[in-house]
Structure 1
Amino acid sequence: MTPKMQEIAGELDKARRGLLAAVQGLSQAELDARPKPDSWSVGEVMHHVSKIESGMIGMLSKLALPAIADGLPKDPAPEQSVLSMVEHLPVLDRTQRITAPEFVRPTHGISREELEAGLARTRGELLAAMEQADGYDLSGLSRPHPRFGPLNLYQWLALSARHEQRHTAQIAEAREALAAGAN
């Protein structure tokens, strides 16, 4: 992988390790418990992350792979960092609630095994899609984000890691709220 894609893959890996550490040791009942009636359970957060990652796979498949087949040029700056391209976006700001679009809203009550298998499957597929697109100039391929406007594919990939970090913080908040409610 080029340094650019390695950087993104590293951020995705760091985010996933954080998410899995945040849910470690939780029972199925704890995964399914909602800290408030209008909040997602930890299991729902995990399912949502998997659905977002599936969307990233689809975006790469629909935008990058056909463009590569049509002669997309090589990336002129494969060593350039892309994380700085999304640092200004308030993804990690948990003070503002964001309503997820219907197609990425989670299902409640999925088993831990299914949730973990789904996360492993989507991550494997995403990394495979990233490898197929590696080395090509993804900066000219873009889609609008519902909140942040047009983003190129590099930004979308980097944003995926930040998105997962946001939800890891949500999981920590849910665990605290549930622990406080149990006392």
Structure 2
Amino acid sequence: MISYIFQDWETNKGNLKGRLVMVLFRLARPASINKFFRVLWLPYLIFYKLLVEWFMCIELPHWTKVGKGLYIGHGHALVVNGCSIIGDNCFIRHSTTLGNIRLDDGSYTGSPILGNNVELGSNVCIIGEVRIGNNVKIGAGSVVVKDIPDNSVAVGNPARVIKTLKPIAVQPKLAYQPEVLV
């Protein structure tokens, strides 16, 4: 349990705010397992929402699936849709949004899925049911509305791949597969 709570500790070395947010997030995550935990964790979830979302301006819902080693750089104005999935060893900078799209009929599209080893520059918007491959770098200010393949560098509005990186010898699998939370 302790190793689970502190799995992002080393990744955020020298980043006190990132360490604090990730420890608080990992402590809140069990509330998404079942209704019993949700009721038991309710006072903590209120504390989490007040401190992390309202005071630190980081919207990272406790039910979001996040792999190990998430680094939150300059954690401010970060908005992550709760249905987004973030793989292992990702680096997310400030003013980044991972969100879905509300359709005319009131329904929503799916949320972004980030692979492993994804690095997002500041002020990146990834909107809709978009898959970001493993080992991808997305430049600051980019707006991503289409899938980005593995081992790519993407920039612009709309984001486009400008470079293909040399693949890593062993490609890690996506940390989590999409599923619907009830």
Provide the TM-score with structure 1 as the length reference.
0.23
Q: Which has the higher contact order (CA 8 A, sep 6+)?
A: 1
Structure number having the greater helix percentage: 1
Q: Which has the larger radius of gyration?
A: 1
Structure number having the greater strand percentage: 2
